[in-house]
Chain A
């Protein structure tokens, strides 16, 4: 039983991690260059297609950062993005790579809407129940993938991906079925496929004493959870085991970690976070407080990208999620100026590449140089135990990781 991403690279991989990592400054410099290149490429794209890059940037800025109202709008997107990203950090760290967040967001929203519309509970209690229902439902949904892996060896990446499409159809089915979520619809014939709105008591409040700046309660909850999970991952025995499992499943197994249980739990946790993000869409003003087929707004996919850029670090995910929230809010504003908001998706994808590539590429060049120098053979890194960057974590190996392996050895 090894996680889907890990092989039995075993001890060699462990030793490789002890080698000095990629230089931090070099990565930072390369990142600046690649990000500039990504932005330049985006500007070029606008210019080539007949737009004005500066006008587009101004529109982006005005829609997302120029005023307190714009900031409120940007920050609304941050909470669900951050929640998905934090969950993705956990699963990626364990080596059980979850890519089904888009579906898990929907399942969370479905469960939240169902509970919120069925139960007649007073104000804040209803909100808590909605959030809990979403969390448990999505955790269970992702847990199914864990079970399929544990008992039948089904590839986690594949099963989480396939289950995304099942979730989409499940939500579509739910909103199209009158007895499930539309019990009080009007008798006027055509009904758009969506649920009834969530009652007032089941909505997250905003804190808005500052001039026009509204901070939704969801953002605070998301940041608290990110900090809590970051602490759990770096300071607890559970976090240590998780990291060990992700870095080297075979060693983890020999050290007494129950691979299936721990990895499955990580998968369920990542699903639960995505479900919470779904509930956030339902209870904060991002959505329209209704369950709708397209309500996930690609938050699941984007949250995954946030985690990638943050290199699976929940704390780092906070600023990255803010960046993505700003791009989202700015993107919808951009559309009003005539430039299609799809451009923002291009910029986002290029930015992700710009952030992800440098450490990997620099590491590769180093290995190549080291290989040619020591072995004296022309092909790159011939036969040398080379420093390996774990596939899901192209981060600079920090001191704490080396310390951990010291303990292991």
Chain B
């Protein structure tokens, strides 16, 4: 294998590992801009991954499985939103409990049931795929990967250009002021969380019916936390968040690919790298005050 082939392999596997992260990160970005530090994104991804395989196995259609996965992400978001924004239980508490619940539930259900594997179709664009190095990365992916081309601009437009997004950002920055100007703060936060559930569900389902084709116990393995790290790494900007996802995906791909190339890089360091980078990014950018000011602060009317 030539060097170019190796780079092409790493890049395309990096892209494959990036895609689920990118979907979920779009959603987490919206949730955080609205002021919810959503920890249950791990639960959303894992639940969606399980649901997509279960439904795909039952219906025989990976596409329906993908849709079911997204739906399960939304369902988990509904539970989270009602508990943390309506009943005002600490959002981290809710997130942790949901993560534990979904991990236990999916692990239990997968041990007592058998599913047939399903995968969505691959798009293989004949001429473009032969472009050296970036061809396989960009033009040989499962078809839902190209939904990202809609999801990213849509998320950006929603948050940065629409009225809904303006209100959403106001809710994340200064919920009291937003409340006074007639925005229903917790209502907006719930909506943001549902959006997050939809995209995180899509990401988790992509992991199952897109990349792997089956479900393994705890198959997200902390990817949800990685998504949170990506948003922080991106300093609450969508573009940088996506770059963060790509960096994390690439680090993961390198970890898998480098040993076969005879290059020894400490694998623990490569696994830890995303978290380390996110921490460093926070340390460096913290003074820039990019964090939504009301991030992780519950809002209740009449308290200020």
Contacts and interface: CB of A to CB of B under 8 A. Distances in A.
A75 B302 CA distance: 46
A224 interface: no
A361 to B, nearest CB: 5
Given A159-B282, A343-B104, A49 B109 contact: yes
Nearest to A172: B268
Given A157-B296, A301-B96, A383-B302, A357 B89 contact: yes
Given A7-B297, A157-B296, A162-B278, A360 B283 contact: no
Nearest to B293: A7
B230 to A, nearest CB: 11
Contact of A346 (B101, B111, B272): B101
A68 interface: no
Nearest to A335: B111
Contacts of A320: none
Interface stretch (B80-88, B124-132, B199-207, B208-216): B80-88
A152 B104 contact: no
Contacts of A345: 100-101, 103-104, 107-108
A159 B91 CA distance: 16
A8 B225 CA distance: 29
Contacts of B302: 12, 381-386
B299 to A, nearest CB: 9
Given A152-B287, A345-B103, A165 B222 contact: yes
B294 interface: yes
A8 B176 CA distance: 11
A162 B276 CA distance: 8
A contact face: mostly helix, strand, loop, or mixed: helix
A404 interface: no
A275 interface: no
A169 B108 contact: no
Contacts of A5: 90, 296-297
Interface centre among B37, B101, B108 (most CB of A within 10 A): B108
A157 B92 contact: yes
A392 interface: yes
A39 B301 CA distance: 35
Interface string B268-281: 11011001101100
B295 A356 contact: no
B97 interface: yes
A155 B225 CA distance: 15
Interface residues of B, number: 54
Given A162-B275, A169-B272, A155 B87 contact: no
Contacts of A340: 107-108, 111-112
Contacts of B304: 7-10, 12
A97 B103 contact: no
Nearest to A362: B87
Interface in A323-362: 340, 342-346, 348-350, 352-353, 356-357, 360-361
B147 interface: no
A13 interface: yes
B43 to A, nearest CB: 10
B105 interface: yes
A166 B275 CA distance: 7
Closest 5 CB pairs of A and B: A345-B104, A349-B101, A169-B272, A342-B107, A342-B108
30 contacts: A7-B297, A16-B303, A49-B108, A49-B109, A97-B92, A148-B279, A148-B282, A153-B286, A153-B287, A155-B282, A157-B37, A158-B228, A162-B275, A165-B272, A170-B268, A173-B268, A305-B97, A308-B97, A340-B107, A340-B108, A342-B108, A344-B104, A346-B105, A353-B83, A357-B83, A381-B301, A383-B302, A385-B303, A388-B303, A391-B298
Interface of B: 37, 39, 83, 86-93, 96-98, 100-101, 103-105, 107-109, 111-113, 222, 225, 228-229, 232, 266, 268-269, 271-272, 275-276, 278-279, 282-283, 286-287, 291, 294-298, 300-304
Given A153-B286, A340-B107, 5 more contacts: A49-B113, A166-B279, A340-B111, A353-B97, A383-B301
